[in-house]
């Protein structure tokens, strides 16, 4: 049976957590002016190296909050960022206004800021009009050796707790060093932000765990951190995602979204959220957790 997080609990979380600040580089400033966009790409992405630049991030204390996730299997598997669900007493996926499906299992990676979520495979998402769209899951592209410097990514999720998206271009690899609630070092991809949909300003906090998609509509990373001051977005490397799937023996099956461009990615992102290919994550910690 599908278990729903009570409406009152969801409202408490949304009201009390106005800005999702569990994991940040520097989210206190607006992003700088968007960089000039160019469709040109350059050399292929090199493999991870001990000489890659390092970026230090702070993992804050356990607290209720909001994030993003995306479906990768009709069997009920989703991907998100580890810091979004780490330490939560209960995790839910928002499926309609005021209701969230309880996540039954959380598989956290020990080597990267990524996690797998499992919901009841019999769950059928419904729109606010009561219709049940075909179950939609996104496909992964883990062949990062073919990635090219300068290629675009489109970041979809729920920044600041509401629908929103940004797009960027690949600038290279960095080593993400997390300190705080847990410690880890992992290779990540660094992206220079190029633009956002209208009305989205300030921090992208809350988009963590959402997919980063290539222009062909395939997922090429999970958004895990930002540096607003530098205009950078960081995503978990596809190799880390593939490693977690192999460890947990989860098969990702799905289809690409429509082809994405700076002109249509806002509407395409709305379609992904409407079909619950991308969903909002609710983390409930401490006294707010419902009885099991």
Q: What is the pTM of this model?
A: 0.83
Alpha-helical runs (H) found in the chain: 7-16, 82-85, 238-248, 265-274
Q: Residue 2 above 80 pLDDT?
A: no
Judge whether 1 lies within some domain.
no
Residue 134, pLDDT above cutoff 70: no
CA distance 108 to 65: 17
Task: Indicate if the pLDDT at residue 178 is higher than 90.
Answer: yes
- Dump pLDDT digits (tens) for 150-164: 999 999 999 999 999
Q: For position 224, which CATH number holds?
A: 2.40.10.10
Reading the block at residue 222, the tokens are 């999970």
Nearest to 147 by CA among 172, 110, 117: 172
Phi (first) and psi of residue 269, to 5 degrees: -65, -40
- Determine how β-strand 23-24 pairs with β-strand 90-96: unpaired
283 within domain boundaries = no
Could you tell me if residue 107 is inside a domain? no
Query: Which pair of tokens denotes residue 123?
Result: 């769950």
Confirm whether 246 is domain-assigned.
yes
Q: Is residue 116 part of a domain?
A: no
State residue 135's pLDDT score: 63
CB 10 within 8 A of CB 282: yes
Model confidence at 264, pLDDT cuts 50, 70, 90, reads very high
Q: Is residue 268 part of a domain?
A: yes
Percent of the chain with pLDDT over 90: 61
- Does any domain span residue 247? yes
Residue 241 clears pLDDT 50, i.e. is over it:
yes
Categorize the per-residue pLDDT at 198 as very low, low, confident or very high, splitting at 50, 70 and 90. Answer: confident
Residue 270 lies in domain:
26-36+49-55+137-275
Per-residue pLDDT reduced to its tens digit, 17-32: 433 333 443 333 344 4
- Over residues 36-84, the pLDDT tens digits come to 555 556 799 999 999 999 999 988 888 889 999 999 998 899 999 999 9
Tens digit of each residue's pLDDT (9 = 90 or more) over 182-194: 899 999 999 999 9
Looking at per-residue pLDDT, the higher value among 16 and 170 belongs to: 170
Q: Considering its fold, how many domains does the chain have in total?
A: 1
Please count the other Cβ atoms lying within 10 Å of the Cβ belonging to residue 84.
30
Between CA 270 and CA 131 the distance in angstroms is 16
CA distance 168 to 165: 10
């Amino acid at each position: 049976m599908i278990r729903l997080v009570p409406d009152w609990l969801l409202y408490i979380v949304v009201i009390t957590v106005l800005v999702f600040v569990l994991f940040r580089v520097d989210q206190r400033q607006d992003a700088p002016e968007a960089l000039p966009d160019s469709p040109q790409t350059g050399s292929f992405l090199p493999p991870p190296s001990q000489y890659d630049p390092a970026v230090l991030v702070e993992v804050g204390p356990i607290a209720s909050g909001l994030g993003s996730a995306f479906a990768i299997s009709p069997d009920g598997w989703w991907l998100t960022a580890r810091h979004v669900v780490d330490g939560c007493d209960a995790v839910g996926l928002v499926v309609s206004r005021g209701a969230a499906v309880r996540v039954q299992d959380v598989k956290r990676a020990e080597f990267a800021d990524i996690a797998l979520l499992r919901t009841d495979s019999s769950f059928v998402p419904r729109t606010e009009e009561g219709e049940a769209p075909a179950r939609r899951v996104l496909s992964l592209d883990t062949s990062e050796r073919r990635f090219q410097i300068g290629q675009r990514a489109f970041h979809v999720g729920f920044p600041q707790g509401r629908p929103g998206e940004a797009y960027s271009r690949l600038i290279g690899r960095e080593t993400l060093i997390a300190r705080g609630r847990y410690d880890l070092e992992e290779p990540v991809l660094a992206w220079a932000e190029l633009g956002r949909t209208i009305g989205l300003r300030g921090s992208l906090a809350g988009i963590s765990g959402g997919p980063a998609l290539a222009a062909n509509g395939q997922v090429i990373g999970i958004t895990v951190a930002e540096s607003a001051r530098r205009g950078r977005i960081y995503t978990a490397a596809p190799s880390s995602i593939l490693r977690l799937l192999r460890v947990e023996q989860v098969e990702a099956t799905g289809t690409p979204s429509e082809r994405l461009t700076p002109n249509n990615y806002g509407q395409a992102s709305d379609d992904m959220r409407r079909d619950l290919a991308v969903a909002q994550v609710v983390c409930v910690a401490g006294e707010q957790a419902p009885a099991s």
